[in-house]
Structure 1
Amino acid sequence: MEVRGAILLIILGTALVTFIPRVLPLMVLSRFELPEWATRWLSFIPISVMAALVGQEIFMADGKIALSAGNVEILAAIPTFLIAIKTRSLLATVLAGIISLMVLRYLL
Structure 2
Amino acid sequence: MTTYSLLIILGCGLVTWLPRVIPFILVKKIQLPDIILRFLCYVPICILTALFVSNLLIVKEGKFPELNMTYVLATIPTALVAFLTKNLMYIVISGMCFMAIIRHFCI
Would you say same fold, with TM above 0.5?
Answer: yes
Q: Provide closer, same or farther for how the CA distance between residues 73 and 29 of structure 1 changes in structure 2, counting only shifts above 3 A.
A: same
- Residue segments in structure 2 that go unaligned for 5+ positions in a row: none
Structure 2 residue aligned with 1:39: 37
- Provide TM-score, normalisation by structure 1: 0.72
- Given that 1:84 and 1:92 are in contact with CA atoms closer than 8 Å, whether structure 2 keeps it comes out as no
Q: How far apart are the structure 2 equivalents of 1:102 and 1:19?
A: 32
- Residue segments in structure 1 that go unaligned for 5+ positions in a row: none
Structure 1 residue aligned with 2:17: 19
Shift of residue 54, structure 1, vs aligned partner: 0.8
* Structure 1 letter corresponding to 2:40: L
- Given that 1:80 and 1:93 are in contact with CA atoms closer than 8 Å, whether structure 2 keeps it comes out as yes
- Provide TM-score, normalisation by structure 2: 0.72
RMSD of aligned alpha carbons: 2.7
- Given that 2:81 and 2:94 are in contact with CA atoms closer than 8 Å, whether structure 1 keeps it comes out as yes
Q: How far apart are the structure 1 equivalents of 2:55 and 2:82?
A: 17
Larger Rg: 1
Q: Provide closer, same or farther for how the CA distance between residues 103 and 18 of structure 1 changes in structure 2, counting only shifts above 3 A.
A: closer
Shift of residue 35, structure 1, vs aligned partner: 0.8
- Given that 2:58 and 2:66 are in contact with CA atoms closer than 8 Å, whether structure 1 keeps it comes out as yes
Q: How far apart are the structure 1 equivalents of 2:104 and 2:22?
A: 45
Structure 2 residue aligned with 1:95: 97
How many percent identity over aligned positions? 31
**Runs of 4+ more than 6 Å apart:** none
